[in-house]
Structure 1
């Protein structure tokens, strides 16, 4: 049987990173959403930045090791790209080691998470619009159901970025794509999920194409003619 997550994380830090300044436990175990396959995500402030995976006391553990400069850099880069991996881990974390200094990092991350990412530039908006339009055209013209599966997968990744970034909200990866959309607009996330279920269960792509076109419409619709990007 697995040991308690918090005490396991403390023991892990004592064994592998005894000299570290700060350690923060994060992830699903902190949110109360853990499953049998959950791991322990631990942000550690030490000397050299790296990421490493471990098994300890039957727990898979992901160690995200930073120094103070590299953590600040990570926070800044995430505001530019819109994916708050480290920001969210710190914001949702609970202190394992470091006291008030660890709390300061958590508070900074919480503030950044609330503020949201940097505004999307017009060129990036056009880039996403063009990518979505291209995938929509492929999907509309396709007669190969096997290819449609991959086209839809790529389309949704671009679409969820478009929806969230134009509204200056954080985007996600994997399961966080849905979670991020739901946090922004639960009804919208439900609509998109319904369209995807229609596609994946009945190969009905019309609903999805209509939904995406409605999302693009207030922003100029599909983009092809006169699209310009510098290499």
Structure 2
């Protein structure tokens, strides 16, 4: 059987249209996951003020341990299929309708997954920073939150930038799993076309090429920004 280059070429308009869905989930979950990662880092790096705060830290650590230690597909299925067992409770809270929607479950799973990894990168970077700047900010009367937002967080993001680029690439590739819960993303469209045309090699090669172009673009952008930052630091 020969590779059908014409079919391979003709599949791109539909696959590129489905790529919009992939990019939507990547960017949306990246935004939400980054906000969650910053919040979790703020909690975990903060001094312990009370028993409630201690328990909150413990809950976040358990969440991070679970989401880093289990496959994303399991997390996706637990949220999309598993929460149906608690429909009465969720209905009482008024949120069961959301968890019946595949798009919402996919966004929750992807955001929580990337937040777990990103928060640990941020915390690791913050702990490795010199303590001099933090001590100086405290002597100036800055609160913990001000020190976190204006000193620790910017420095930490600068340190983890290359690793953060890898996390974005992993997140983009991870979105391919949402096709398992009825969402037609790039991979989902490739599967549909493969079934229609009986040409899985051509369809999945085309989808793979689009994924490769997107990951290459992300890597280039992060490398370019890193180079600009390095040049700016060297100039000073």
Task: Quickly name the TM-score band, shorter chain normalised.
Answer: under 0.3
Please identify which structure carries the higher helix content. 2
Please identify which structure carries the higher strand content. 1
Q: TM-score, normalised by structure 2?
A: 0.23
Q: TM-score, normalised by structure 1?
A: 0.23
